[in-house]
Amino acid sequence: MQTTPLSNIILASGSPRRVELLQKITSDFEVIPANVDETLLPGETAIAATERLATEKARASHVTGKITLGVDTLGELEGVPLGKPRNKDVAREMLLSMSGKMYTVVTGWCIKTDEKEIISHDITQVTFRLISFGEIEAYLAMNDPTKYAASYAIQDAGRDFVEEIDGDIETVIGLPTQRIQAIFLSHFQ
């Protein structure tokens, strides 16, 4: 993927992974992390939550005259959204619940300008192999699961839990660059 001459972009996220991914399509952006409450609403699906939170982040970080990109990622297992766990005990339960199962990863985004908002999402299916309690404990001892939706990072040691991916791995990491680049090029060039 080639970088594009896009400019005046704000990334409303402090995630180093999203910064790295956005650099694949443009080098001309600034990072202004949004401080929004990521508490899910009662009964909210992962799609609804990621689109809502991405929009709130884009609005919170928007600067007049700029293009602001807000992004949020959640897992969803059997209809239950999987966000960032509040501690290692919650992460342990989450990882145990995903062992041997397929779950959905949703990354929602909002691209905001002064005049409009483009809101959408991307979905990838991830299948975990059967993982043991000991493997989970070893992972939790070496990694901070509270930084990641669904308690693990596929781009790091968490990839060992994954048996199969159906979709874009960048959706799982947190920014589907091909989709975002296509929107930038079709709306802002």
Chain position carrying tokens 């400019």: 7
- The dihedral built from the CA positions of residue 96, 109, 68 and 20, taken in this order, carries a sign that is positive
Residue 7: per-residue pLDDT: 73
Is 183 exposed, middle or buried (CB count within 10 Å of its CB: 0-12, 13-18, 19+)? middle
Q: How far is CA 104 from the centre of its chain?
A: 12
166 occurs within a structural domain: yes
Mapped onto helix, strand or coil, the DSSP state of residue 174 is: coil
Number of domain units in the chain: 1
Q: At what angle do helices 133-142 and 88-98 cross, to 10 degrees?
A: 140
Question: What stretches in the chain show pLDDT beneath 50?
Answer: 1-4
Task: Please confirm, yes or no, whether 72 is among the known catalytic residues.
Answer: yes
72 occurs within a structural domain: yes
113 occurs within a structural domain: yes
Residue 1: per-residue pLDDT: 45
Residue 187: per-residue pLDDT: 85
Residue 189: per-residue pLDDT: 67
Q: C-alpha distances in angstroms, 53 versus 19, 39, 70?
A: 18, 9, 8
2 occurs within a structural domain: no
114 occurs within a structural domain: yes
Domain of 174 in residue numbering reads as 9-188
147: domain CATH number is 3.90.950.10
59 occurs within a structural domain: yes
Residue of 72, 89, 144, 156 marked active site: 72
Each residue of 116-143: pLDDT tens digit?
999 999 999 999 999 999 999 999 999 9
Residue 2: per-residue pLDDT: 44
3 occurs within a structural domain: no
CA distance 108 to 176: 9
* pTM above threshold 0.85: yes
Instruction: Give the DSSP H or E segment for 179.
Output: helix 177-188
